Chain A
Amino acid sequence: MRYNKKKMKKVHILGLLFIAVVIAALISLMGDLSTYDSIESARKKEGKFVHLIAKIDLSEPVVYDPLKDPNLLTFTAVDSLGFTTKVIYKNAKPTDFEKSQRIVMKGSMVGETFECKEIVLKCPSKYKDEQGMQEKKLRTVSQLRK
């Protein structure tokens, strides 16, 4: 016991070392963090990598022509504050794209357009428990048959 108090055990030194490593890893991570932004605030930090939460503006065309370029999708997004932006996504159009209620886009503003690297869709079809959708469906079914 007494011996132990004089000198730190290797395990303790090791522990401190590991904690230092974790802190270093987390600090290095800070550089890779980005933020969720609105279209307006993303415009303010042009070129910076951000996450946008928005909806697809279906009143504007969604253009994807795999014959011309299978890696180009362009559309207009509108966020909850009502701001809109053109979006370029250099990949195939995701399944259920038009059906999605909300999209999370990762990318950065380049000039007036948002260059999107990744899109995550929030689709009602996957949220099977969404009661509103269910009810809507039932209402339409009953209208059709009556």
Chain B
Amino acid sequence: MIKFTGEHLLIGQIGNFITLLIFCSSLVAAFSFYKATVSKEILEEKPWLKLGKISFIISAISVVALFLTLYLIIYNHYFEYKYAHQHSKRSLDMQYLLSCFWEGQEGSFMLWGFWNAVLGVFLIKTAKKWTSPVMVSMSLVQFFLASFLVGIYLFDVRIGANPFVLMRNEFPDAPVFQDPEYLTKYLTDGNGLNILLQNYWMVIHPPVLFLGFSSTVVPYAFAVAGFWKKDLVGWVRPTMPWALFSAGMLGLGIMMGAAWAYESLTFGGYWAWDPVENASMVPWLLLVAGIHTLLIFQHTGHSLKASFIFISLAFILELYATFLTRTGVLGDTSVHSFTGEGSTLYWHLILMIFLFIALPVVVYVINRKQIPVNNKEESMNSREFWMFVGSLLLMISGVYIIVLTSLPFFNKLFGTNWAIGKDVEYVYNRIMVMVAMIIGLLTATVQYLKYKNTTRKYIWGKLAIPVIIAFVISLLITLFGDVSFDKYGMGFLVAIHMAIWTAVYAVVANAMYFITVLKGKMKAAGSSIAHFGFGLMLVGILISSSKKELVSENRTGLAIPGLKDAKGRDENPLENMTLIHNIPTPMGDYVVTYLGDSTEPKNNKVYFKIDFSKIDTVKNTTEHFMITPNAFMVKSEEGTQLSSNPGSKHYLSNDIFVYITSWLNTDNVKDTASFRNVPIKNGDTVYYSNGFVLVNKVLNANKNDNKDLPLVDSAWLSELTVMSKEGQATQVTPAFFVKDGQPTFKTDTVMQQNLILGLQRAENGTVQLAIKESSSVMRYITLKAYKFPWINLLWLGTVIMVIGFMISMYFRIKSKLYVA
């Protein structure tokens, strides 16, 4: 047995103890709340309820302690722990230490557990008569989350992944662990955080997303509790503010992720229909559908079944999303590469999903005869009819997205090998543009309808003005907005325009509703504010996506419309442009120059200075700015790799967005080409691969016979003209000096020609031209640049929508009607 030095084992043991404590206390809590729920008499119920509350609060406090324990390990750089070693390193900035948490599976489950605990404690304090049935679901979730972290062995199968495992226990065969001082000798630093996560959005996006994510269980818990306690109507009221909270937070979290993708991923956009994005969006769609059907029920008594189904599905799909993104079943389709923890997590999550499907199914089947149904048919002029249509549409678009996203999983199940073909984004977009069109229309018009029935006169009286205003604005956008995205033909372009029209209509109509119908009263304004924000998001998405412009359009050779370009390439434009150091290159509306780069040695980050100038026809610079994208230099056995971070220039109406796709770091390149020496005299011509060098003049000067040379012993100077095949002439003046017997060279380079020229003195005292053709003389970068117009509408719309959700929630909690 080796006695290892320098390890901090106590903190890990504490962590393991805390994990087990959460595991046990949440199980006790679930059982106690269950007993409290099923007990018939208050005397029997009370002690169980008390025990449940105490156990859950113990597990909640333990989750916080667990969080702190792991944080201390990361903060203190205890690299004997696998989690710290894998996700952190000493040079990591303080603010990113938190991001280390969510990089790993264990940390994200912990974060989920943290929010679940906070929400649970909140429910214990506020849910009153609903406490025990609701807390059964909450405690079960807590129990499952703890079980993902325990890492105990059950008949040789490891259950969960423990965040406190030691490196030496994980890799017992590695020779370093034969050395008792391995920690001070070898494991002195960690692997560090994935550089994509070293972004400020990654500090705040996961906590918000996970709050939204974990809060979807609360409406679910109320729905199940309602049916379980046979209070088939009563659960709707307390569910409402929670559903609004959840939809608001989840929406905000998703869009923060979009902002992160926009700013630090290099696929040039905020949304790529990536499985991870889809999987978090679908529960949101279901939740929003559920909120609308709940509203219908509250006002008309319709749609109770639909509400129950939507609200339950939202949480179940949230679990399914975890399954898709965490177990590796998506495999090759996601740019977010999540680890597969292996088959145990796979079955572990399947078990969890089936349990949480079973709960609502069982209580639904038991009560199916008692569910109140309003058999009076909805009028076509009623708000509830069209709200239901909208909810259904949201659900169906969710189904479409989740089916496509699950293709790799279906392949696995059925042994097929299907994949979405050529253009993943279009497969989604062509359906979603239709959905946006209808949703925009509904969002605007349905606000003006009343529940049960609305007279035609009322509708047209109120709607006339917003319709006219929206029509004028939309017409202006279509006529002068230059939305001409025709990559997929006229049909899609028309669809985009129609969607823009309805989205503008949604914005205008909801603003007008707030002013003319609600007269600015905040109490009922939540929905029009949320819908106004949502409309703005739609406008922002439609315009920024269809007007996204490739600035670094590269057409080598002449671009004649309708003809193939010079290199015979059919699909244009190609996206990458190479910029040679200090050579202004036209790119889109700009002339762009790569001015240089600077390295921040601490974390191997390189900043590239790229100058953008707009030059008008009379050669005046009308606009001038600098964009500084950066990149991490990741050193590895295979050489230095680049991991790029975009740089951007923000305007109110558009963003210019640049990122480096390739960079030749001259320091790293071994120059394989060598100098070729050619004796020269005045008037000689020396050939190279792409032209020739004219020797205009060669001068030899000596300290003894030339008093202009006090600093050196002797000098050979030259004046040369490099003539390229293309007829470009460049003057160069390489030279050669000797001082104190030591030679010094002044070489000259012709960037465009990959040419280095120098002078040499031959053995016999004559002058030689040293000529080298090399690609390494070039300092150059390859980049992509995009212009995103009106993306700020999307961000602004998101914020307003979330505010709308929160206002609705606030007034629902305040109004006595909605208290549990």
Contact = CB atoms under 8 A, between A and B. Distances in A.
B186 A70 contact: no
B638 A98 contact: yes
B385 A10 contact: yes
A66 B140 CA distance: 56
Contacts of A127: 337, 339
Nearest to B192: A128
Given A11-B378, A99-B636, A138-B171, A70 B419 contact: no
B431 interface: yes
Contacts of B337: 122-123, 126-127
Choose among B639, B643, B782 the residue with the greatest number of A CB atoms under 10 Å from its CB: B782
Interface in A23-62: 25-26, 29, 32-37, 49, 51, 53
B762 interface: no
Contacts of A1: 375
Contacts of A93: 661-662
Nearest to B411: A36
A129 B339 contact: yes
A25 B578 contact: no
A92 B782 contact: yes
Nearest to A96: B641
A139 B332 contact: no
Given A53-B332, A104-B332, A117-B422, A10 B176 contact: no
Interface string A50-82: 010100000000001111011100000000000
A11 B388 contact: yes
A86 B333 CA distance: 23
A18 B179 CA distance: 67
A134 B171 contact: yes
Interface in B390-408: 392-393, 396, 399-400, 403-404
B149 to A, nearest CB: 15
B67 to A, nearest CB: 21
Contacts of A122: 332, 337
B569 interface: yes
Interface residues of A, number: 60
B194 A126 contact: yes
Given A4-B375, A70-B662, A131-B171, A138 B576 contact: no
B556 interface: yes
Nearest to B266: A95
Nearest to B393: A18
B574 interface: yes
Contact of B421 (A34, A95, A125): A34
Contacts of A142: 174-176, 179, 186
B634 interface: yes
A98 B639 CA distance: 10
A92 B571 CA distance: 15
Contact of B103 (A14, A26, A128): A128
A128 B641 contact: no
Q: Helix, strand, loop or mixed for chain B's interface?
A: mixed
B799 interface: no
A99 B575 CA distance: 23
A143 B104 CA distance: 29
B531 interface: no
Contacts of A126: 194, 337
A21 B661 contact: no
A29 B427 contact: yes
Nearest to B573: A71
Given A36-B417, A65-B775, A128 B174 contact: no
Contacts of B634: 96, 125
A92 B422 contact: no
Interface in B543-572: 554, 556, 567, 569, 571
A135 B422 contact: no
Given A64-B662, A128-B191, A26 B403 contact: yes
B529 to A, nearest CB: 29
B128 to A, nearest CB: 34
Interface in A79-131: 90-93, 95-96, 98-99, 102, 104, 106, 117, 120, 122-123, 125-131
A106 B421 CA distance: 8
B171 A18 contact: no
A128 B332 contact: no
Contacts of A26: 400, 403
Contacts of B726: none
Nearest to A130: B339
B89 interface: no
B418 interface: yes
Given A66-B662, A120-B332, A32 B576 contact: no
A62 B319 CA distance: 42
B422 A67 contact: no
Given A91-B575, A126-B194, A126-B337, A70 B389 contact: no
B377 interface: yes
A25 B429 CA distance: 12
B173 interface: yes
Contacts of B404: 29
Given A35-B418, A106-B422, 16 more contacts: A34-B419, A49-B422, A66-B578, A71-B574, A92-B661, A96-B643, A117-B422, A126-B194, A128-B86, A128-B104, A128-B191, A128-B194, A131-B171, A134-B170, A141-B176, A142-B186
9 contacts: A1-B375, A11-B378, A33-B421, A66-B662, A67-B775, A93-B661, A98-B638, A123-B337, A143-B175
Interface of B: 86-87, 103-105, 170-171, 173-176, 179, 185-186, 191, 194, 332-333, 335, 337, 339, 341, 375, 377-378, 380, 385, 388-389, 392-393, 396, 399-400, 403-404, 411, 417-423, 427, 431, 554, 556, 567, 569, 571, 574-578, 580, 634, 636, 638-639, 641-644, 661-662, 664, 754, 775, 778, 780, 782, 784
Return the 10 tightest CB-CB contacts between A and B, nearest first: A92-B661, A71-B574, A70-B576, A34-B421, A138-B174, A66-B782, A36-B417, A70-B782, A142-B176, A126-B337
